[in-house]
């Protein structure tokens, strides 16, 4: 009798264990599916061009992931391939530097950005409805810091007009860029890439809406200090999401989220002449195993929607509500 009872208990334990294992597998599969974000995306960092130039046809040197990307050959191929990627991945808004021609093609998506003109001309473009963002500001390549007097009029204009500024930081430009392409990237200096250079700008223009392009990797602690001190500092994760290894990207992102800055991280690509990086960048974020679906939605859409001031009506339309 005693043996029969023990035998029955063993059978019950084994059955319970099998059921629990089956449920765990089922839950894991459900979670795996739910963690792939398929909703609308805002890309805060895309480039268009007004004429054919030296980068067309250029193969991107091997990234720290070991990947290369073949460049499109000309303006027409660039526009066609990039717009196809935007539509493929449900990118409903994109900040596009020099995006005037693309705006004609997809006005519902493109937010035209510019920083190459003098501030007076940028004001004229804004007044005519042809400018939504001042970006990409990149004095970095000329060895000029953010708080240099030559840059202040741009920040002043952006604060006055209440439009965002996108400011270039590391890791913009390919790894080893100074050595691989000195004729194009010879002005790159590591000491010019620290986000602390924005401190004086933010003190002078405390209402400035600014996002640090490329997320200032690897200056993680200094970036956290800046975001702690200045609630108007956002970042995009362009380039970091396709040029550094996945584990390094995960560590960088987790550190920012653990520090409490998950509501100021925005998706970006920095697609120049390599449309495939759009797919890679999105996949990289979806591959971050510790992010919940809600956190991915914040990064891919919600944080940027708030930063850009999208209306409730537009947000509802993007989300199909």
DSSP secondary structure string, 137-178?
Answer: E-GGGGT--TTSTTTHHHHHHHHHHT--EEEE-TT-S-TTHH
- In the numeric block, the tokens 């992931």 are attached to 65
**Stronger pLDDT, 183 or 165, i.e. the higher one:** 165
Please report how the helices 276-286 and 75-88 are oriented relative to each other, as an axis angle in degrees rounded to 10: 30
| Helix (H/G/I), strand (E/B), else coil: 32 | helix
Cite the DSSP H helix spans in 174-271.
177-180, 182-185, 199-204, 220-229, 240-243, 246-258
Q: With residue 260 as reference, give the H or E element that holds it.
A: none
Q: What per-residue confidence (pLDDT) applies to 18?
A: 43
Q: What per-residue confidence (pLDDT) applies to 178?
A: 85
Q: With residue 44 as reference, give the H or E element that holds it.
A: strand 41-47
Q: How far is CA 82 from CA 37, 56, 94, 96, 121, in A?
A: 20, 13, 11, 11, 28
In angstroms, the CA 264 to CA 235 distance is 6
Cut 0.95: pTM above it: no
Q: What per-residue confidence (pLDDT) applies to 186?
A: 84
Contact 168, 270 (CB under 8 A): no
How does residue 292 score in pLDDT terms, banded at 50, 70 and 90?
Answer: very high
How does residue 321 score in pLDDT terms, banded at 50, 70 and 90?
Answer: confident
How does residue 3 score in pLDDT terms, banded at 50, 70 and 90?
Answer: very low
Mean model confidence pLDDT for the chain = 90
Take residue 174 and report the two structure tokens written for it. 């390919």
Across 47-56, average pLDDT: 90
Residues 257-288: pLDDT tens digits? 999 999 999 999 999 999 999 999 999 999 99
Phi and psi torsions of 60, nearest 5°? -65, 130
pLDDT tops 60 at residue 10: no
Q: What per-residue confidence (pLDDT) applies to 2?
A: 36
In angstroms, the CA 79 to CA 102 distance is 7
Facing residues of 10 across strands?
none
pLDDT tops 90 at residue 98: yes
CA angle 269, 243, 216 (to 5 degrees): 70
């Amino acid at each position: 009798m005693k043996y029969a009872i023990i035998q029955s208990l063993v059978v019950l334990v084994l059955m319970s264990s099998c059921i629990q294992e089956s449920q765990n597998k089922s839950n894991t599969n459900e979670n795996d599916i739910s963690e792939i974000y398929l909703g609308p995306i805002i890309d805060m960092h895309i480039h268009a061009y007004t004429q054919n130039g030296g980068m067309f046809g250029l193969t991107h040197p091997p990234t720290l992931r070991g990947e290369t990307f073949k460049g499109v050959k000309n303006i027409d191929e660039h526009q066609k391939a990039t717009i196809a990627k935007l539509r493929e991945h449900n990118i409903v808004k994109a900040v596009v530097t020099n995006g005037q021609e693309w705006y004609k093609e997809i006005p519902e998506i493109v937010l035209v950005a510019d920083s190459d003109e003098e501030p007076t001309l940028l004001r004229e473009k804004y007044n005519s409805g042809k400018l939504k963002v001042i970006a990409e500001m990149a004095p970095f390549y000329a060895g000029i810091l953010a708080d240099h007097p030559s840059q202040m009029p741009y920040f002043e204009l952006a604060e006055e007009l209440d439009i965002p500024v996108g400011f270039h930081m590391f890791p913009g430009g390919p790894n080893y860029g100074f050595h691989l392409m000195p004729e194009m990237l010879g002005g790159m200096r590591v000491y010019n890439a620290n986000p602390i250079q924005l401190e004086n700008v933010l003190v002078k223009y405390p209402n400035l809406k600014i996002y640090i392009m490329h997320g200032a990797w690897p200056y993680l602690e200094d970036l956290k200090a800046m975001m702690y001190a200045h609630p108007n500092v956002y970042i995009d994760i362009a380039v970091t999401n396709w040029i550094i290894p996945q584990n390094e990207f995960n560590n960088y992102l987790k550190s920012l989220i653990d520090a409490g800055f998950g509501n100021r991280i925005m998706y970006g690509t920095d697609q120049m002449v390599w449309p495939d990086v759009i797919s890679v960048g999105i996949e990289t974020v979806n591959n971050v195993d510790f992010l919940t679906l809600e956190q991915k939605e914040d990064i891919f859409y919600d944080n940027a929607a708030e930063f850009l001031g999208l209306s409730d009506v537009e947000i509802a339309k993007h989300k199909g509500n």
